[in-house]
Amino acid sequence: MPFYGQGMNAGMEDVLAFAEALDVPPTVSFAVEQALLSLMAARRGTSVARLLGAKHTRLPLSHVLVRDAAEAHLAVHGGAEHLKIKVGRDLADCIDRVRAIRDRVGPKVALRLDANGAWDMTTARKALQALAELDVAFVEDPIAGEDLDAFRALRNASEIPIALDAPVRSLEALKRIIAAQAADVVVIKPMFIGGLARSVRMIREAHAAGLGVVITSTLESEVGIAGAKAVALASPPDALSVCGLGSNHLSPRQIAPETKLPNALMKSACANPTTTALTLV
């Protein structure tokens, strides 16, 4: 590849072309690109965000993931203004929990719901109708899959904005979502996109189309989160909604020690309490 042999003379475009040409999973190309850009930034005495074109230095506040009204109360007491709630297949439980959280935190706190594709179309329609009175900021991935016609139908029938995460994994996928008018908000996860620069391009594309953008992480280390923050800083300042790039949980003083780190099984259990999360054979 052209990047080899250039060494210290490699430029920004060389690094990006090398990372994008790799025949590896997106998580690997993201890591390679971030590592090379970090080396370049250190050599030039700047930051990865600046290399990507950042013009500002402040990020939107982060949302906090909560499970119930008690955790929501603690989060808001600690200064949180945006809460994320995982909801699952049990529609009655979903509505009861969201209502309890709304009653506990009051009308000024923004509530974001993530269904992780747990609902079918019929349940999703019922959920969106029932939740409309609770002033929900948006519902993420209300149904599974990539049926953009179905997402557009939900969006047209819903008073609550629709956010898409799982279907947003490439610039081509984003363009299809925009053309289908299938979402109000898109969630960008740079590690799953496969690179910092391509994530910035996608954010600019979404913003130009009038979509809201949320940048967040999954189970990255602090290094991966730093890469996502660089992407956020390089995005148009008015493109981003409140992102998930800080502590995604309550502070260690507010929760049990065993839940300080992101716990995929716990998240799955919250979203789908009646589904088997782990089987040992």
| Residues classed as catalytic | 86, 189
Nearest-angstrom CA–CA distance, 89 and 115: 8
Nearest-angstrom CA–CA distance, 238 and 236: 6
* Cα Rg of the chain, angstroms: 20
Structure-token pair, residue 59 = 């990020």
Q: Is 59 within 8 Å of 233 (Cβ atoms)?
A: yes
Nearest-angstrom CA–CA distance, 92 and 168: 29
Q: Is 183 within 8 Å of 153 (Cβ atoms)?
A: no
Whose structure tokens read 């250190």? 42
Q: Find, among 53, 52, 49, 40, the residue nearest to 9 by Cα.
A: 40
Structure-token pair, residue 94 = 């979903």
Q: What is the dihedral of CA 173, 179, 180, 186, to 10 degrees?
A: 50
